[in-house]
Amino acid sequence: MAFPTPQGLRFGASAFILPGMKTALIEALKRWSGAAFDRGKILLTGDRLFDLRVEASTLRGAARGVRQAWYAIELELDETGEAPRRARCTCPAGADGRCKHVPALGLAWATTPGRFTVLTGIEARLHRRSYEELVSMVALMVRTHPELEALTLAPVPGGHREAPSVTRWRTVADDVFRRHGDDWTAVAGLIRELESVRSLGDDFNRQGERAHAAALYEGLMDSVVANASRFPWPDVRSRFRAMVEQCVQQLPGRPAARQALATLESLPLLTPRRSPKSIAAA
């Protein structure tokens, strides 16, 4: 189904205001997205955005793509609901959420919130499922995305498992790097999957399983530092640095953690083999 563009929206204008719009969010999206903002406005036409959902302060959706059929978009708003807090997209330019698809998602919420399906939290939805349904669901996910099978072998928060193992989590993270390769176009998916692994450490901490959380953070940190030299682009390296810093913060009193951060910062930044600008319109 194609949703109509809000009446009066002028793509050539540097700003636009319509009745009922969340104007503060629109201005914040401009600051967040820079030049990508105007390209994002164009995506509001027709059915280029679809599967729009909102869960608490997080917006999710999909956009029809060029290099692949569609891209997954996520935009988390701050506590006011009027500014982006963090974002990501699976398009080649979307690892840090600064691509055109993110402002498009935010603009859709600001102008036509009725297009969004309101969801409860994922944990609440899963708790309503039976054991058999959950097994079938995981099996379907693994068949659809074979790379998820590795996570079925790893420890999970709240489960029965072996002793904490840094080596296990180093292997999980190394496998993520191997699957995605080191081409610029693979960076968005690589960062997204590494962040998902890191978030498991936060889940372990919330369950009070500090030893398992520490093993995950250390294994992930070691893997990122070991593989970072293959990614010479400053913006990608900054994402790796932020990830390692998050791990270091969770490993207080460990000199090796600080040394890992120093090692990462000492790696040379090379001339990009491919300019990020060349794929910004993907």
pLDDT of residue 10: 39
pLDDT of residue 156: 75
Structure tokens at 263: 């090692």
pLDDT in tens, 63-121: 988 777 788 899 999 988 899 999 988 888 887 888 999 999 999 999 989 899 988 77
243 φ, ψ (degrees, to nearest 5) = -65, -45
pLDDT of residue 17: 41
Residue 57 CA to residue 120 CA, distance in Å, equals: 11
**Arithmetic mean of pLDDT over the chain:** 82
pLDDT of residue 271: 56
Please tell me whether residues 100 and 186 are part of one structural domain.
Answer: no
DSSP string, 74-122: EEEE-TTSSSEEEEEESSTT-TTS-SSHHHHHHHHHHH-GGGSEE---H
Please tell me whether residues 225 and 196 are part of one structural domain.
Answer: yes
| Residue range of the domain that includes 65 | 23-118
pLDDT of residue 221: 95
Assess if residue 124 is contained within a domain. no
Please tell me whether residues 65 and 167 are part of one structural domain.
Answer: no
Which has the closest alpha carbon to 125: 116, 110, 111, 137? Answer: 137
- Report which of residues 154 and 129 the model is more confident about: 129
pLDDT of residue 214: 94
Please tell me whether residues 140 and 114 are part of one structural domain.
Answer: no
- Report which of residues 195 and 124 the model is more confident about: 195
Please tell me whether residues 142 and 233 are part of one structural domain.
Answer: yes
Q: Kindly report the pTM of this predicted structure.
A: 0.60
- Domain ends where: 86, 118, 150? 118
Q: CA angle, 206 as apex, 211 and 253 as ends, to 5°? A: 45
pLDDT of residue 247: 92
Assess if residue 278 is contained within a domain. no
Band of pLDDT at residue 232, cut at 50, 70 and 90: confident
Assess if residue 282 is contained within a domain. no
Please tell me whether residues 141 and 263 are part of one structural domain.
Answer: yes
Whether the per-residue pLDDT at 11 is higher than 80: the answer is: no
DSSP, collapsed to helix, strand or coil, labels residue 57 as coil
Number of domains in the chain: 2
Assess if residue 16 is contained within a domain. no
Which has the closest alpha carbon to 218: 164, 178, 175, 265? Answer: 164
- Report which of residues 14 and 246 the model is more confident about: 246
Whether the per-residue pLDDT at 2 is higher than 50: the answer is: no
Please tell me whether residues 71 and 189 are part of one structural domain.
Answer: no
Task: Identify the CATH number of the domain in which residue 67 sits.
Answer: 3.10.450
Assess if residue 166 is contained within a domain. yes
Residue 150 CA to residue 252 CA, distance in Å, equals: 29
107 φ, ψ (degrees, to nearest 5) = -65, -35
Low-confidence winner among 1-5, 26-30, 114-118, 249-253 (lowest mean pLDDT): 1-5
DSSP, collapsed to helix, strand or coil, labels residue 235 as helix
85 φ, ψ (degrees, to nearest 5) = -105, -45
- Report which of residues 152 and 202 the model is more confident about: 202
Whether the per-residue pLDDT at 273 is higher than 60: the answer is: no
pLDDT in tens, 146-198: 877 777 777 777 775 678 899 999 999 999 999 888 877 778 788 888 988 99
Assess if residue 18 is contained within a domain. no
